[in-house]
């Protein structure tokens, strides 16, 4: 089994090269309690905030949500299967996913499988493009995704039930209950979804075989305001996912994959005059089990338990200047079928400063020193300037040095792991222009990113795969984010669009990285008239190479996918009820985001959202 | 402001465009004049789970035709092409991760049928007396279900299976016996099974060293090259070369390589044995195979990255370079003295050569 497991795992994750009601509608002012202190550090970068209704109108998986609402490109091994992101032309391990401020990328693979995150379990999903290593730590090279549970006060008791049912026996149920008074706030979200996922492959006589999945996600957040200075919060999240892996060919052996992840965190906020202290203790567990044959009980697995301690102190030097300092500690304890138990300790020190020099000029600086004995400890930095040249036009400049640490698989895989690996290092810079009018905002960013010592599994002369620091990658591109709205009488129109042009080249060969299209465009158009609303989502993913020599006969075709939804909103007493229907892949486009892994054609669903 | 919004409205029609995707990229395949006789097939296994295995054809003039199976049949071979075998006018293409055998006419490549029943992790195929014999690893997590499938060549059905030790890989037929090298599937093998091809019964087992990779027959002797277990297994063992009598299945002579050395492949022509070690090709004579010599030549001059396929045929040595396993591979041809002759650009992960004469 040993010989093939790494290849299979790599293949699953696509590394083997053999082997708010709406983004369309106006974004609510979002208060991010969890990381309120840290968020300002990225004031000179571009953020996109996705809240309730965008989350509800999209598929429950984080892949479904972000594919239609961001410049992130996904490689999905068929709907619901392993899904890897590429943010700004980077690798799957170079996007950080943070749960209430804690990095939850897998310690074994280094990446987050975006189909193992149920977006409905969170109140807000925030995307920040570009390097964020100083604040977010490892993986934040292409960008970061923040999954946030909000704690709100004085809103009483609320229930929210969402039920969706559609083609291929796909169901999606989400129940949220929250209660708050002026001292306490509690919120519980229970989500369950699943699908037979046996869609026909367009223009063939084949169906998606063995692709069924289901998962349950439970999110809890609770907060107590002890007094004016002290606040105690508790967050918890459990994800239990079971997937069969759809067959690449009809007679292939049937496999399945289980994920079981838990996250819990205690947070203490202490405010005294000019000082604010934030202390977090988190325990995370991640466990995967891969069954190479579903008819057999045998599985291979990986298990990592992590302890995270974060302490941040902010000092408001004066009205315009904030000084920050922080300490992070991470302890991983992991083992697996092919990994003997290993414990590693990582820590870091962070220093930062934000200064509003004048009404028009703002700058920020962040420094981070990694401290560990396992590999080189890089010194990271970020610096940014924001110039508000007029009340509707501003310029943001940001530069940073970021890193990505080797994974458990890279370091400790029995016989193959390499303990001499260095972290990947990224140097990047970007310039953003923001145009903000009353009913429209447009931001255009140009960036450059040089990634060195890419960690990859590469074959030696005997064909044995081992992890190494190999390639250097040069990435540059442009991104545009647009949102606009218009009212004509009772008719309301909203538009939200993203476009990315991405060049991501291997410095030695000059070839574009695999599965990084040069172009990606998304748009959401919303229309509402009194109680009726309609929305149209559009995605155009450019063609991408699937081989490192950019062979034309292995190009993944470009594709466009569009969804159409209709909603009727009404009130029963004080309760709000929404009924909706959707046609997904409206034009029945034949497409795939991974070579020879077809995605579904046109399919339908109906949903109901009841707020009481 | 109003102008801006009007400009924005201009982009709305873009949202309604739905035919702006490119047409499916046609794989344009030029087929050679006449048929596929008198040339060489190169099997490209393709990426694991990517279902992009393909067949290349090199005609006698050296012209390369890629994706020829797709060109003739309009569909791909499937997932991970392992090997190919000829019988009369028929060619069998063994698809490892598809668990199928694609049966085609060897001269036209027209698809005849697909064998999928009782085929699980198939590897190699030989023929005897109207039957085909296919080694199968079976269920990856079960070390006791490995077998040789017996295929009736009249109707292309599997008539029975012969249970063997784990990891049956390459096999040969001689004098009505099958010699099956147990290289090891998900574990490591160290034996050669001898099967009576008339009765389909296991007749004996010959113990060799770990990981018997190459087997050839010359002058009524069986030569088995065992690679030994590599260092990364945590249990490194020595490579060993065996000469076994086909008369009594006894080891006549054997030779142990020094530690840390793991040769692979084995070919024979005119009483000379060829194998590969770290990208170098070695040649020893069958009469004196236990005396090691220096390499015949190194493939490094041609910058070969991974020797993934190796064949000696007529007066040439053929080497398949899988490169980084993520880009199109290349075939390098040398003469028997190791002089580089020519190279051919083929497809993803080429692993073997078949001469259609």
Q: Which tens digit of pLDDT belongs to each residue from B63-79?
A: 999 999 999 999 999 99
**Which one is predicted more confidently, A210 or B143?**
A210
A479 closest CA partner among A439, A440, A521, A449: A521
Q: Which letter does DSSP use for residue A94 in this model? A: G
DSSP lists the bridge partners of residue B65 as B57
Picking from A459, A551, A559, the nearest residue to B306 by CB comes out as A459
Q: What is the pLDDT of residue B225?
A: 97
Evaluate if residue B295 carries a pLDDT over 70.
Answer: yes
Handedness of CA A107, A113, A116, A121 (dihedral sign): positive
* Cα separations in angstroms, A328 against A101, A208, A380, A408, B289: 12, 45, 14, 20, 63
Residues across chain B = 357
Q: Residue A460, SS3?
A: coil
Q: What is the pLDDT of residue B33?
A: 56
Residues 106-165 of B with CB under 8 A from A: 116, 119-121, 139-142
**A500 reaches B (C-beta below 8 A):** no
Q: Which tens digit of pLDDT belongs to each residue from A545-570?
A: 999 999 998 999 999 999 999 999 98
Contacts of A392 in chain B (CB under 8 A): none
A159: containing domain:
5-611
| First vs last C-alpha separation in chain B | 76
| First vs last C-alpha separation in chain A | 53
Residues 313-372 of A with CB under 8 A from B: none
Q: What is the pLDDT of residue B20?
A: 44
Asked if A557 and B25 come within 8 Å (Cβ–Cβ), the reply is: yes
Which chain B residue shows the shortest CA-CA distance from A466? B232
Q: What is the pLDDT of residue A2?
A: 41
Which tokens hold the place of B121? 């992790």
Evaluate if residue A59 carries a pLDDT over 90.
Answer: no
Residue B32 contacts residue B57 (beta carbons within 8 Å): yes
- Mean pLDDT value across chain A: 90
Describe chain B by its helix, strand, coil percentages, rounded to 5.
Answer: 10, 45, 45
Evaluate if residue A406 carries a pLDDT over 50.
Answer: yes
A215 closest CA partner among A192, A198, A238: A192
Contacts of A578 (CB under 8 A, 6+ apart): A567, A568, A569, A607, A608, A609, A610
How many angstroms separate the CA atoms of B281 and B337, rounded? 10
Q: What is the pLDDT of residue A26?
A: 31
How many percent of chain A have pLDDT more than 90?
80
A253 closest CA partner among A463, A79, A4: A4
Find the DSSP H helices in B106-255. Answer: none
Q: How many CB pairs under 8 A join A and B?
A: 184
Asked if A296 and B139 come within 8 Å (Cβ–Cβ), the reply is: yes
Asked if B24 and A252 come within 8 Å (Cβ–Cβ), the reply is: no
Residue B217 contacts residue B233 (beta carbons within 8 Å): no
B101 closest CA partner among B120, B128, B88: B120
Residue B93 contacts residue B115 (beta carbons within 8 Å): no
Q: What is the pLDDT of residue A471?
A: 87
Q: Which letter does DSSP use for residue B35 in this model? A: -
A213 closest CA partner among A243, A246, A175: A243
Domain count, chain A: 1
Give the gyration radius of chain B's Cα atoms.
23
Evaluate if residue A503 carries a pLDDT over 90.
Answer: yes
Q: Residue B156, SS3?
A: coil
Residue B149 contacts residue B103 (beta carbons within 8 Å): no
Evaluate if residue A183 carries a pLDDT over 60.
Answer: yes
CA dihedral B307, B313, B315, B318 (to 10 degrees): -20
- For residue A65, what is the enclosing H or E element? helix A62-67
Would you place residue B37 in the very low, low, confident or very high pLDDT band (cuts 50, 70, 90)?
A: confident
Evaluate if residue A243 carries a pLDDT over 70.
Answer: yes
Evaluate if residue A49 carries a pLDDT over 60.
Answer: yes
Residue B125 contacts residue B180 (beta carbons within 8 Å): no
- Mean pLDDT value across chain B: 90
Asked if A251 and B12 come within 8 Å (Cβ–Cβ), the reply is: no
Sequence-separated contacts (24+) of A195-201 with Cβ below 8 Å: A195/A79, A195/A80, A195/A168, A195/A169, A195/A170, A195/A171, A196/A168, A196/A169, A196/A170, A197/A78, A197/A79, A197/A80, A197/A168, A197/A170, A197/A246, A198/A168, A199/A79, A199/A167, A199/A168, A199/A600, A199/A601, A199/A603, A200/A601, A201/A598
Question: Mind telling me how many Å the CA of A150 is from chain B's nearest CA?
Answer: 34
Handedness of CA B284, B288, B289, B292 (dihedral sign): negative
Q: What is the pLDDT of residue A23?
A: 31
Q: Which letter does DSSP use for residue A28 in this model? A: P
As a whole number, mean pLDDT of residues B40-51 equals: 95
Could you tell me the pTM of the whole model? 0.90
Asked if A523 and B14 come within 8 Å (Cβ–Cβ), the reply is: yes
How many angstroms separate the CA atoms of A503 and A515, rounded? 12
Rounded to 5°, angle at Cα A211 from A208 and A212: 130
Evaluate if residue B158 carries a pLDDT over 50.
Answer: yes
Pick the residue of B65, B185, B323, B325 with the most A CBs within 10 A to test the interface with A by mutation: B325
Q: What is the pLDDT of residue B7?
A: 43
Q: Which tens digit of pLDDT belongs to each residue from A192-225?
A: 999 999 999 999 999 999 999 999 999 999 999 9
How many angstroms separate the CA atoms of B198 and A324, rounded? 82
Q: Which tens digit of pLDDT belongs to each residue from B191-209?
A: 999 999 999 999 999 999 9
Q: Which tens digit of pLDDT belongs to each residue from A8-25?
A: 555 555 544 333 233 333
Which chain A residue shows the shortest CA-CA distance from B19? A560
Residue A128 contacts residue A144 (beta carbons within 8 Å): yes
Q: What is the pLDDT of residue A573?
A: 83
Asked if A252 and B349 come within 8 Å (Cβ–Cβ), the reply is: no
Picking from A460, A464, A596, the nearest residue to B52 by CB comes out as A596
**B98 reaches A (C-beta below 8 A):** yes
What is the domain-level CATH number for residue A607?
2.40.170.20
Picking from A19, A461, A560, the nearest residue to B279 by CB comes out as A461
CA dihedral A71, A72, A76, A82 (to 10 degrees): -160
Asked if B187 and A1 come within 8 Å (Cβ–Cβ), the reply is: yes
Picking from A486, A540, A547, the nearest residue to B348 by CB comes out as A547
Greatest mean pLDDT among B139-143, B291-295, B314-318 lies in B314-318
Residue ranges with strand state E in B153-263 = 157-163, 168-174, 177-182, 191-196, 201-207, 212-218, 221-226, 240-245, 251-256
- For residue B321, what is the enclosing H or E element? strand B316-321
Evaluate if residue B2 carries a pLDDT over 60.
Answer: no
Evaluate if residue B149 carries a pLDDT over 70.
Answer: yes
Q: What is the pLDDT of residue A41?
A: 52
Evaluate if residue A606 carries a pLDDT over 90.
Answer: yes
Q: What is the pLDDT of residue B19?
A: 44
Asked if B48 and A439 come within 8 Å (Cβ–Cβ), the reply is: no
ipTM (interface predicted TM): 0.88
Q: Residues A99-131, buried b or exposed e (16+ Cβ, 10 A)?
A: bbbbbbbbbbbbbbbbbbbbbbbbbbbbbbbbb
Picking from A466, A486, A551, the nearest residue to B327 by CB comes out as A551
């Amino acid at each position: 089994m040993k010989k093939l497991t790494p290849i299979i795992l790599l293949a699953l994750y696509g590394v083997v090269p053999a082997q708010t009601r709406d983004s369309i509608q106006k974004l609510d002012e979002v208060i991010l309690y969890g990381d309120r202190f840290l968020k300002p550090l990225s004031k000179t970068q571009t953020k996109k905030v996705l809240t309730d209704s965008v989350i509800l109108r999209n598929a429950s998986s984080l892949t479904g949500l972000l594919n239609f609402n961001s410049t992130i490109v996904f490689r999905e091994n068929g709907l619901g299967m392993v899904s890897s992101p590429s943010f700004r032309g980077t690798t799957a391990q170079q996007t950080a996913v943070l749960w209430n401020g804690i990095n939850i990328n897998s310690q074994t693979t280094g990446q987050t499988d975006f189909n193992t995150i149920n977006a409905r379990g969170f109140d807000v999903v925030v995307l920040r493009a570009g390097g964020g290593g100083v604040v977010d730590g490892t993986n934040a090279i292409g960008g970061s995704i923040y999954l946030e549970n909000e704690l709100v006060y004085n809103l009483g008791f609320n229930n929210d039930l969402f039920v969706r049912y559609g083609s291929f026996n796909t169901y999606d149920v989400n129940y949220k209950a929250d209660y708050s008074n002026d001292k306490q706030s509690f919120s519980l979200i229970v989500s369950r979804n699943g699908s037979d996922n046996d869609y026909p492959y367009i223009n063939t006589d084949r169906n998606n075989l063995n692709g069924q999945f289901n998962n349950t996600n439970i999110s809890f957040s609770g907060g107590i305001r002890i007094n004016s200075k002290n606040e105690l919060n508790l967050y918890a999240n459990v994800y239990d996912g079971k997937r069969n892996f759809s067959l690449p060919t009809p007679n292939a052996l049937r496999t399945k994959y289980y994920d079981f992840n838990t996250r819990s965190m205690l947070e203490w906020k202490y405010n005294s005059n000019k000082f604010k202290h934030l202390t977090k203790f988190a325990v995370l567990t991640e466990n995967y089990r891969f069954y190479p044959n579903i008819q057999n009980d045998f599985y291979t697995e990986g298990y990592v338990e992590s302890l995270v301690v974060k302490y941040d102190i902010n000092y408001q030097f004066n009205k315009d200047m904030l000084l920050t300092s922080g300490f992070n500690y991470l302890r991983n304890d992991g083992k697996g079928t092919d990994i003997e138990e290993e414990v590693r300790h990582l820590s870091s020190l962070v220093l930062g400063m934000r200064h509003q020099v004048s009404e028009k000029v703002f700058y920020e600086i962040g420094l981070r020193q990694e401290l560990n004995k396992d590999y080189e400890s890089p010194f990271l930095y970020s610096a940014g300037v924001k110039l508000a040249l007029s009340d509707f036009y501003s310029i943001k400049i940001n530069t940073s040095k970021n890193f990505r640490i080797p994974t458990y698989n890279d370091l400790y895989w029995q016989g193959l792991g390499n303990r001499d690996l260095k972290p990947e290092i990224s140097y990047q810079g970007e310039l953003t222009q923001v145009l903000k009018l009353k009913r429209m905002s447009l931001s255009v960013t140009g960036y450059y990113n040089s990634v060195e010592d890419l960690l990859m599994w590469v074959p030696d002369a005997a064909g044995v795969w081992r992890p190494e620091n190999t390639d250097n990658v040069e990435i540059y591109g442009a991104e545009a984010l647009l949102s606009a709205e218009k009212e004509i009488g009772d008719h309301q129109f909203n538009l939200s669009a993203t476009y990315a042009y991405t060049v991501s080249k291997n410095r030695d060969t000059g070839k574009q990285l695999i599965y990084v299209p040069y172009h990606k465009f998304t748009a959401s158009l919303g229309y509402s008239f009194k109680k009726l609303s309609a929305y149209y989502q559009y995605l155009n993913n450019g063609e991408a190479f699937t081989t490192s020599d950019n062979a034309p006969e292995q190009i993944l075709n470009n594709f466009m996918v569009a969804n159409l939804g209709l909603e009727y909103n009404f009130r029963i007493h004080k309760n709000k009820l929404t009924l909706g229907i959707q046609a997904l892949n409206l034009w029945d486009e034949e497409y795939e985001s991974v070579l020879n892994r077809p995605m579904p054609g046109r399919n339908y669903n109906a949903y109901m959202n009841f707020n009481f | 402001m109003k102008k801006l919004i009007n400009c924005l409205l201009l982009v709305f029609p873009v949202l309604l465009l739905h035919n702006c995707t490119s047409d499916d990229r046609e794989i344009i395949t030029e087929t050679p004049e006449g048929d596929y006789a008198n040339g060489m097939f190169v099997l490209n296994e393709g990426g694991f789970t990517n279902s992009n295995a393909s067949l290349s054809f090199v005609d006698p003039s050296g012209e390369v035709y890629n994706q020829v199976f797709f060109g003739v049949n309009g569909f791909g071979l499937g997932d991970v092409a392992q090997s190919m075998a000829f019988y009369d006018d028929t060619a069998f293409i063994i698809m490892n991760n598809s668990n199928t055998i694609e049966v085609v006419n060897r001269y036209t490549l027209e698809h005849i049928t697909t064998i999928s029943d009782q085929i699980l992790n198939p590897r190699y195929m030989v023929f005897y007396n109207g039957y085909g014999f296919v080694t199968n690893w079976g269920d990856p997590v079960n070390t006791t279900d490995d077998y040789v499938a017996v295929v009736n060549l009249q109707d292309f059905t599997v008539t029975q299976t012969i249970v063997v030790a784990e990891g049956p890989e390459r096999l040969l037929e001689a004098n009505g016996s099958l010699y099956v090298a147990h290289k090891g599937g998900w574990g490591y093998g160290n034996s050669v099974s001898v099967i009576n091809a008339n009765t389909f019964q296991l007749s004996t087992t010959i113990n060799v060293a770990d990981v018997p990779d190459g087997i050839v027959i010359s002058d009524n002797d069986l030569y088995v090259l065992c690679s030994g277990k590599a260092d990364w297994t945590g249990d490194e063992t020595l490579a060993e070369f065996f000469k076994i009598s086909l008369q009594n299945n006894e080891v006549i002579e054997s030779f142990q390589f020094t530690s840390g050395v793991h040769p692979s492949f084995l070919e024979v022509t005119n009483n000379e044995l060829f194998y590969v070690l770290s990208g170098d090709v070695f040649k020893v004579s069958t009469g004196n195979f236990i005396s090691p010599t220096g390499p015949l030549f190194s493939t490094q001059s041609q910058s070969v990255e991974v020797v993934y396929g190796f064949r000696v045929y007529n007066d040439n040595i053929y080497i398949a370079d899988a490169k980084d396993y993520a880009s199109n591979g290349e075939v390098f041809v040398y003469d028997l003295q190791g002089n580089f002759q020519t190279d051919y650009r083929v497809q993803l992960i080429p692993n073997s050569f078949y001469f259609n004469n």
